[in-house]
Every structure is written in C-alpha cells, then in structure tokens.
Amino acid sequence: MPTDASKAKLEQIRVDRIDRNPENPRLVFRPTELEDLLESIRVRGVQVPISVFKEGRRYVLIDGERRWKCSLKLNRETVPGLVQPKPDPLENLLLMFNIHSLREQWDLLTIALKLPRVIELLKRKLQKEPTERELSEQTGLNRSMIRRCKLLMEIPQEYKDQILEELKKPKSKQKITEDLFIEMERALKTVERAMPDVIPNKDSVRRVLLKKFEKGVIDSRIHFRNIGKIARAESVGYDRSDAARELQKLFADNSYSIEQAFLNSVGEAYKERDVATRVTTLLNLLEQIDPSELESEVKEKLEQLRNRLSELLSG
C-alpha cells in the first residue's frame, strides 16, 4: 500500500473536529460492548491512539470509531490520534481492512458488504478482475475468509438485513448468524453442482431450511454439512436417484430433518467408508511393528479387534 504509516504524526485532536469515515465497513456496534469500553475510557482514558487523516480543517477516521464515540460521549475535549496522509479511496478502504484483519475482527457480513467496493476499486487499478490471492494481499484477509465473504455476498438482501439485525444482539444471543448462512450456502452450492435438478428454486429451499432451523427441526448449523454429503452420494457408491429423493423430501415444507435424511440415505455408506479409511491407516501402522516388541496391553487390544472382525466377517 502506498500510504506510509511512518509518516503519521501523533497529535491530541479535538474530538468535535473528527468525522466518521463513510467507507467504514463496520456497521454494527453492540451496545453492551460499547458500554464496557466507555467505562474503561472513563477510568483510564484512551490508551491506544485513533488513526485519522486531515480533510480541510477537520479529520476523518481511519481507525477508532468506538474510541472516538466514547470520547464524545464522555465529553472529553481531545483524543490522541495518529494523523496519516490523506489516502485515495482504495487506500482508505484497504487501510481499514488491514488494521482490522490484524486486530479485533469485524463481523463477517460487514466485510462482505464492503468487499464488492474493494473489488471494484482494485479492478480499476489493476485493469482486471483481482484474483483471490491479490484480494488477500491487499486487504489482509486470508483466502478462506474471502471465500466465506463471497458466499455471504451472494445471499438475497432480505437475509443480509436479517443477519444485520441479529448482529446487534450480544454474540451469545445470536441465532440466525453469518456462519449459519455460510454452512447453508456451501451445502446448497454442492447440491447445485452435483444434482442441479433437485433445486429448481434456491430461494424457496433457503426459506424452508431456515424455517426448519428456527423451529429446531435442524438443531445445529453443522448438520448442513451432511446435505453436501448426501449430494455426493455417488462418491460412496450410493444410488444417486435415491439420494436425490431424500434431498427433495428434505427441501419440502415438513418436519423432516437433515439428520433423518442423512441416516436414511448415505449415512451407512459414509460410515463404511470411514471404517475402510481407518482400517487402511491401521494396517499401515501394523506393518511397521515388530511382533517381538508388542506390549501385552497392545496384544490384548489386537485380540479384541480380531474377535470383533471374526464376528463381523462370519455374519
């Protein structure tokens, strides 16, 4: 990034001369967190300077909106601030992204909402669509996070609004979360790739799954991963059309859960694959062992294993 932080100057800045940065991706400030910070600043003052750039006679925030708000609230006259050279629009955004990727993380959706603007500005600068790697280098976000953001960018606006509302609550009370949508979107993408005919209308499927989650029919967002496993039925030798039927049943407005669909279809097949994988690993390990060095405890366990295997194979 061209903006050189070493050129920044530390100053005591009048609180009433500071404006928030309209490009700040952070949209959600949780009241209880702000109250805690307020008390800390009241007692100890602002310990970490905010970052700003000068705009005429005023200053625009790059980093430290919560500290600034608390200072305003506490009727403080000044706040310590690093005054940086004025960045261009892309640098302005990237500065904020980089500062936060190294510190307390913003809510993922707020990053996802701002990412298209970063992509647009980067595209103008690079004269091409930025790759995931370039985006990662420029924003300081890791690639997995960028992929997660991209999933969130694609969900309809009504769900984004719903998440934003939920984000205002304390973390412990949030139910309809970004992670829920990320798991759901990943699962639906897998189904679309493997069995496109099962999802004629993605939005109605989303609606049904969300309803089931809210009602507790789906009781964990992790269960969405099993939708992807059902869609990849052929990889474990399960019949594709049977799996598709289970998914269609799951995507209908009823009380059929993901776990039921999983157990009634590919559950056993995945279990068997899991056993096969583990047995292969075990066999590889056993080949490296000298029989004369076997401890009695291990021998006992292996005998238990032999007995169980005999039962299974004779049955």
Partner 1 sequence: MARDYKILVPALHATAEASINWFQTHWGLKARSEKIEEAIDPDVRLKPTFSVQTQDHHTLCIEVAASVYPNYLDAFVLSCRDRGLPVKLYIAIQKGVYEAEYAQKLKNAKQSGVGVMEVDDASGTVLHNGLSLSLTGVRPIEIRSFPKKYRQSLNDAAHTFRDGNPPKACSMIYDEIEASFRRFAKKASSKSWWPNDASLRVATASWAKLIADVDKHLDRKACGCNALTPAFMARMLGVTPFRNDTGHKPANAKELKKRDQQLRTRFESAVDLFHDFLSATKRLRL
Residue ranges in contact with partner 1 by CB under 8 A: 27-32, 34-35, 38-39, 42, 69, 72-76, 168
Least separation in angstroms between residue 114's CB and partner 1 is 17
User: Which residues make beta-bridge pairs with 50?
Assistant: 81
In the complex with partner 1, the residue whose CB is nearer, 54 or 76, is 76
Tokens 């609606």, residue located: 207
Task: Please name the residue that has the structure tokens 């970063």.
Answer: 118
- In whole angstroms, the minimum distance from the beta carbon of 110 to partner 1 comes to 13
Of 19 and 234, which has the nearer Cβ to partner 1? Answer: 19
Minimum CB separation from partner 1 for residue 53, in Å?
20
69 or 229: whose CB is closer to partner 1? 69
Greatest CA separation for the chain: 87
Compare residues 27 and 302 and give the one whose CB is closer to partner 1. 27
Distance in angstroms (rounded) separating the CA atoms of residues 17 and 71: 12
CB of 55 to partner 1, least distance (A): 17
Nearest residue (CB) to partner 1, 174 versus 265: 174
How near is the Cβ of 30 to partner 1 at its closest, in Å?
Answer: 7
Task: Give the C-alpha separation, 247 to 266, whole Å.
Answer: 11
Nearer to partner 1, 77 or 272 (CB): 77
Closest CA to 99 of 26, 11, 184: 26
| Nearest-approach distance from CB 139 to partner 1, in angstroms | 25
Find the shortest distance in angstroms from Cβ 34 to partner 1: 6
The 3-state secondary structure of the chain reads CCCCHHHCEEEEEEHHHEECCCCCCCCCCCHHHHHHHHHHHHHHCCCCCEEEEEECCEEEEEECHHHHHHHHHCCCCEEEEEEECCCCHHHHHHHHHHHHHCCCCCCHHHHHHHHHHHHHHHHHHHCCCCCHHHHHHHHCCCHHHHHHHHHHHHCCHHHHHHHHHHHCCCHHHCCCCHHHHHHHHHHHHHHHHHCHHHCCCHHHHHHHHHHHHHHCCCCCHHHHHHHHHHHCHHHHCCCHHHHHHHHHHHCCCCCCCHHHHHHHCCHHHHHHHHHHHHHHHHHHHHHCCCHHHCCHHHHHHHHHHHHHHHHHHHC
* Cβ–Cβ under 8 Å, residues 101 and 140: yes
Q: Quick one: 28 or 113, whose CB is closer to partner 1?
A: 28
Closer of 32 and 281 to partner 1 (Cβ): 32
Q: How far is the CB of 27 from partner 1 (least distance, A)?
A: 8
Q: Which one, 55 or 239, has the nearer CB to partner 1?
A: 55
For the CB of residue 162, give the shortest distance to partner 1 in the complex, in Å.
14
